[in-house]
Amino acid sequence: MMDSTPLLDMRGIVKSFPGVQALRGVDLNLHEGEVLALLGENGAGKSTLIKILGGACRADQGNIFIHGKPTDFTALQDAQESGIAVIYQEFNLVPTLTAYENIFLGHEVTRFGFVSHRKERQQALALFQRMGVEIDVDIPCRSLSTAQQQLVEIAKALAFKARIIVMDEPSATLTSFEVGRLFEIIRDLKRQGIGIIYISHRLEEVTTIADRVSVLRDGQNVGEKDISQITRPELIEMMVGRPLKDEFPSRNSPIGTTRLKINQLRRGREVQDVSFSVRRGEILALTGLVGAGRTETGRLIFGADVKESGEIWLDGKLLDIRSPRDAIAMGIGFLTEDRKLQGLVLMHPVRDNFGLPNLGWLSRFGFVQQQFERDHFSRYIELLKIKIPHMEQVACNLSGGNQQKVVLAKWLARNCDILIFDEPTRGIDVGAKFEIYKLMNELVASGKSVIMISSEFPEVLGMADRVIVMHDGKITGEITDMRSATQEHIMQLAVA
């Protein structure tokens, strides 16, 4: 039986930024031992609401109550002292410090004024034991897997006795096995009375782990339901504001002859003698579990990494790709998996980011024609429904989904014949996913070829004409009959 007094009660939260009304009187409450899924399209206001809760920014109006007591967070430390921990999608860990040092960073365990590494190690081990996992606490965090780093973040939250834990897209880079382990930990945290706010665009996870769902749209509450009282189509309609009959748009365009051919591509253990081809008008999915070598294969094709051996042929011509510049010149584009580190210059305006791979045709006599650039960018803003107050908005201030759309826009403007999309819909809401899927269909219908690297098996089955499955740097299977293909079949090949 839930306590009638919420563990967390946010009322009438209002927040605006220059040119953007991010939150318009949002309410949110959370009880002890509850998992609340916070959903909404990119730009709906989820990130802003969580930043206010975590003390990263202040609301213009509104109140926050913890166990019925009013609070006023002016800094991150205020939120932490109130028992609030936010685990962001991009982890807040120091790579060179060990797991236990990261856990106690900023609130070290001391003895006679000196840090007690022995006690920190003991307490870190006890925290992981409480979570039911084993982590070598002496290893630098840069040497831990993504799933292990996430466990360190959870341990950090428990170390300062957090009663409210926010998880922002926690499963984005995890395997299905690791997601299952994460859910076990979440259920254990629930039994300890900890309240969890779970932010995800993967609706199948939400219906599995959440007790209740709260949906934001355009900075406002649009609905709140017990998870048992709402269907997946109803949830999608709440998020996007309209019925979405199919999550994957249909396509009926012809597939032509081979355009790109990869022969015996190799780089260490990451990519081992990989060979496949891509045809005109085809979406070829490259899938497998995390660490299978999918992204590494894409980077070799694009010249972002140097291959040890192998050949890349385009339209019957052997290519000599030694850098991304070479690949771009030959009509190959790469929508990177890590948009923040590799896809965008975060501190530059979105207009500059759009222009970066297109400077050749946007410039005249060595100078960028800025009005010409704005005119072209405006077309893609409308086409992709990019939510920005103006073109000079700094890229780091956009939501993850809108950042992804800016990366997509710059490659579409480049008019590449071969497009490598690495996790094209990661961190993107269901409505925006549908728009990107439609765009991919239009690209191949116009004769282009798409290599879609994806770890989401429903996406692979819903969009691909053919599937290449990888495991441990090698191709373990190819699926050509998509009508009879199943997630179980892909998984069997992925763990081979």
Give the pLDDT confidence of 40-96 residue by residue, as tens digits.
887 789 989 999 999 999 999 999 999 999 998 888 888 988 999 998 877 889 999
pLDDT of 291 strictly over 90:
no
Q: How confident is the model at residue 491 (pLDDT cuts 50, 70, 90)?
A: confident
Nearest residue to 343 (alpha-carbon basis) of 304, 388, 382: 304
pLDDT of 428 strictly over 50:
yes
Give the pLDDT confidence of 190-247 residue by residue, as tens digits.
999 999 999 988 888 899 999 999 999 989 999 999 999 998 888 888 888 877 677 8
Q: How confident is the model at residue 1 (pLDDT cuts 50, 70, 90)?
A: very low
**pLDDT for residue 426:** 78
Distance CA 240, CA 428 (A): 12
Q: Give the start-end residues of each E strand in 362-417.
A: 363-364, 367-368
pLDDT of 175 strictly over 90:
no
CA atoms within 13 A on the CB side of 480: 3
Q: Which helix (H) or strand (E) holds 422?
A: strand 418-422
**pLDDT for residue 35:** 97
pLDDT, average across residues 10-22:
89
Distance CA 345, CA 368 (A): 17
Distance CA 351, CA 379 (A): 12
- Decide: residue 372, CB within 10 A, 0-12 exposed, 13-18 middle, 19+ buried: middle
Distance CA 71, CA 457 (A): 43
| CATH number given to 8-240 | 3.40.50.300
Q: How confident is the model at residue 424 (pLDDT cuts 50, 70, 90)?
A: confident
Distance CA 161, CA 151 (A): 15
DSSP state of 342: I
List of residues 6+ apart from 484 with CB closer than 8 A: none
**pLDDT for residue 452:** 96
Write b or e for each residue in 142-174: b if 16 or more Cβ atoms lie within 10 A of its Cβ, otherwise e.
Answer: eebeebbbbbbbbbbbbbeebbbbbbbbbbbbb
CATH topology of domain 258-494: Rossmann fold (3.40.50)
pLDDT, average across residues 409-437:
85
Helices (H), 160-210: 176-191, 203-209
pLDDT, average across residues 281-306:
92
- C-beta pairs of 240-243 under 8 Å, 24+ apart in sequence: 240/41, 240/429, 240/430, 240/431, 241/217
Find where tokens 């956009």 sit. 398
CB 317 within 8 A of CB 398: no
8-240 and 258-494 have identical folds: yes
113 three-state secondary structure: coil
Beta bridge partners of residue 318, listed in sequence order: 313
Write b or e for each residue in 178-211: b if 16 or more Cβ atoms lie within 10 A of its Cβ, otherwise e.
Answer: bbebbbebbeebbeeebbbbbbbbbbebbbebbb
Domain boundaries, the chain: 8-240, 258-494
**pLDDT for residue 193:** 94
**pLDDT for residue 400:** 73
DSSP state of 305: S
Distance CA 140, CA 467 (A): 37
Distance CA 252, CA 445 (A): 8
Q: What percent of the chain has pLDDT over 90?
A: 51
pLDDT, average across residues 250-255:
88
Distance CA 19, CA 342 (A): 27
List of residues 6+ apart from 476 with CB closer than 8 A: 288, 469, 470, 493, 494, 496
**pLDDT for residue 3:** 53
Write b or e for each residue in 107-129: b if 16 or more Cβ atoms lie within 10 A of its Cβ, otherwise e.
Answer: eebeeeeeeeeeebbebbbebbe
List of residues 6+ apart from 424 with CB closer than 8 A: 335, 404, 408, 436, 440, 452, 454
DSSP string, 20-68: EEEEEEEEEEE-TT-EEEEEE-TTSSHHHHHHHHTTSS--SEEEEEETT
Distance CA 170, CA 91 (A): 10
Task: Choose between 82 and 367: higher pLDDT.
Answer: 82
Q: What is the mean pLDDT of the chain?
A: 89
178 three-state secondary structure: helix
